[in-house]
Structure 1
Amino acid sequence: MTPDPVPASEGAPAGAPRPGGLGELAGRTVSRVGYGAMQLERLRDDRGAAVALLRHAIDLGVDHVDTAQFYGNGFVNDIIREALRPQDDVLIVSKVGAVSDPGGPRALRLAQRPEELRAGVEENLATLGLEQVPVVNLRRMDAGITIPVTDDQVIDLDDQLASLIALRDEGKIGAIGLSSVTADVLRRALPAGIVCVQNDYSIVARDDEDVLRLCEAEQIAWMPYFPLGGAFSWRAKVTDEPAVIAAAEHLGCTPAQVGLAWLLHHSPRTLLIPGTADTRHLEANLAAGAITFDEKTLAALDEIPTRPVHRPDH
């Protein structure tokens, strides 16, 4: 299940594989399987292990990493700064639109105003130790799992994009992406030059198929978060699906690997950013990029319906 090595280019270590094959992000050739850094926070008490895990990902061909200043209230960005070397040439994707809120009613609070977006970029630059963040996603609240929005955080998209475009013009960010948006919001944002979209999406949560198809039409990278569903007890899990379990048994891999591989097969614009704090899970996630499906297995997976969300009342 391990991908075959291919010639290195644009940041992949010499002789490293390209997990999942070749994809495109912000005008660069990247591996289709990257790394989502959020779960590095679980290694807060073992900083050395966190650094080693990220280094191992790079050694295995990961060349794009998803992060945010609010992951671990700066801890994750700090680990990335320590672990990565300039010669790694890893493309870092961060996000703004929320901030850590230690001691608050929730771990995060929204920060959607233009001045808050600018402050978020400045914080990312400081904690990552960069002069420019290659890609910054605007984390909206239009779709997926969202934080309750207060009136002062209902901000017009155009005002937000104007702030990010100014930061791009200043050289503080390289490119603009979006997260948790509808197709209508993405369509409105296209003139800003959107390079990627991160939405809640998996084989059991395909309500945003229209957003994916728009990304395909506009050649925008599609980077699903919660790629295995779950995440909360009230959400369906990809790994519980009988068709996924059957496919894993047939292929000699894990149900999680089937769920990740299906996403790559479902759209050529998909780039994966699965996260983990465990070395074995990291290796399994990257190996999922080499899994292929026969027509019968793929058809059975395609027939899995979107599962309804039974979110408890608040």
Structure 2
Amino acid sequence: MNDFAHGPSTIRIGDLEVRRLGFGAMQLPGPEVWGEPKDPAKARAVLKRTVELGINFIDTSWYYGPFVSNRLIAETLHPYAKDLVIATKLGGKRLPDKSWVAALRPEELRQGCEEDLRTLRLERIDVTHLRIIPHSDVPFRESLDAMIGLQKEGKIRHLALSNVTLDQLREAMAITPIVGVQNLYNVIAGEKKLANFPMGVVAGQEQMLDFCAEKGLAFLPYFPLALPGPRKMVSPVLGEIAKKHGATEAQIAIAWLLARSKALLPIPGTSSPAHLDENWAARTIALDKAEIEAITAARS
């Protein structure tokens, strides 16, 4: 039975099928995605509630914490349910000053993959994204070849990309199967707003999304509820529509993503079980055509 108001309730990632609303583990560690959570028991409760709700896709990385989100996932959910798909990403790392930097050299990607396997207690990772970090001097093909090597060794089941351009996706697909893309996309990140965004985020996401839908790839929108920084929605349109539906702006943001394309697999994160329930309930909100168009128009 399809309990999603918009589109199918599941999506395929390679030969895997998951519910079309996942969970992002980035908020499980402490502030600034660093160190232990303020309330470890609450973090574990979020993970337990995730699988209780029927969410069977979790996105994480060894450098969340670092190591914290992966460890919490393993401590709470291992041995994993057969239908639980865990996705990770490689290509970045954290420095002692809490900064985020590129780690795209082959030896760095291998080390990161081994850390994911170790901390998640896995022999093979279901989906691993190659995340391209701006200002890296490592050629894209060099990093991609390293990921293909890890897959051939049986450490990775499916390859995906993150923070890439459409040209990079096409280049990768000409070399090896790619199952998905994880790029910035949400209700307020229109093309004009992204033009001056200071994190090196690539533009052209409408074309990317349409391409993924055409080719049968999953598109995982990161920061699905807002841009980084204060978690405040900036479009008054969201508030008006939320009031009409008796919902929160965040729920409307998720509902719009689900309505925008059946290729979208939102992965909102939270450190609160109550907020997790709220996010999950957003799948049942039915937006009409005028509401969808109003939100879309406000994004520019």
Cα distance, 1:51 vs. partner?
A: 1.5
Contact 1:199/1:224 (8 A) holds in 2: yes
Q: 1:5 to 1:248 in 2, by over 3 A?
A: closer
Structure 1: 5+ residue stretches without partners: 7-18, 307-314
Q: 1:87 to 1:99 in 2, by over 3 A?
A: closer
- Corresponding residue to 2:47 among 49, 54, 58: 54
Query: Does the residue aligned with 2:26 lie in a helix, a strand or coil?
Result: helix
- Corresponding residue to 2:150 among 167, 176, 195: 167
Contact 1:26/1:135 (8 A) holds in 2: no
* Residue 201 of structure 1: aligned partner: 185
Superposition pairs of residues 224-303 of structure 1, within 5 angstroms: 224-233=221-230, 237=232, 239-303=233-297
Cα distance, 1:100 vs. partner?
A: 2.0
* Residue 92 of structure 1: aligned partner: 86
Whether 1:38 aligns to 2:29 is no
Q: What is the distance in 1 between the residues matched to 2:286 and 2:8?
A: 10
Cα distance, 1:107 vs. partner?
A: 2.5
Q: What is the distance in 2 between the residues matched to 1:251 and 1:276?
A: 22
Q: 1:133 to 1:87 in 2, by over 3 A?
A: closer
Q: What is the distance in 1 between the residues matched to 2:26 and 2:39?
A: 15
- Counterpart AA for 2:155: K
Query: Does the residue aligned with 2:104 lie in a helix, a strand or coil?
Result: coil
Whether 1:130 aligns to 2:122 is yes
Whether 1:114 aligns to 2:117 is no
* Residue 217 of structure 1: aligned partner: 214
Q: What is the distance in 2 between the residues matched to 1:107 and 1:287?
A: 34
Q: TM-score, normalised by structure 1?
A: 0.83
Contact 2:42/2:272 (8 A) holds in 1: no
- Counterpart AA for 2:221: P
Whether 1:179 aligns to 2:152 is no
Query: Following TM superposition, where does structure 1 have runs of at least 4 consecutive aligned residues deviating by more than 3 angstroms?
Result: 3-6
Contact 1:20/1:290 (8 A) holds in 2: no
Q: TM-score, normalised by structure 2?
A: 0.87
Q: 1:154 to 1:40 in 2, by over 3 A?
A: same
Contact 1:70/1:99 (8 A) holds in 2: yes
Tell me the percent identity: 36
Q: What is the distance in 1 between the residues matched to 2:171 and 2:266?
A: 25
Q: What is the distance in 1 between the residues matched to 2:142 and 2:237?
A: 45
Q: What is the distance in 2 between the residues matched to 1:249 and 1:47?
A: 34
* Residue 10 of structure 1: aligned partner: none
- Corresponding residue to 2:61 among 68, 73, 77: 68
Q: What is the distance in 2 between the residues matched to 1:257 and 1:210?
A: 25
Contact 1:69/1:120 (8 A) holds in 2: yes
Contact 2:59/2:88 (8 A) holds in 1: yes
Cα distance, 1:109 vs. partner?
A: 2.3
Q: Deviations over 1:27-48 (max 9, x none)?
A: 2111111100010103624322
Q: What is the distance in 2 between the residues matched to 1:70 and 1:246?
A: 38
Q: 1:268 to 1:168 in 2, by over 3 A?
A: same
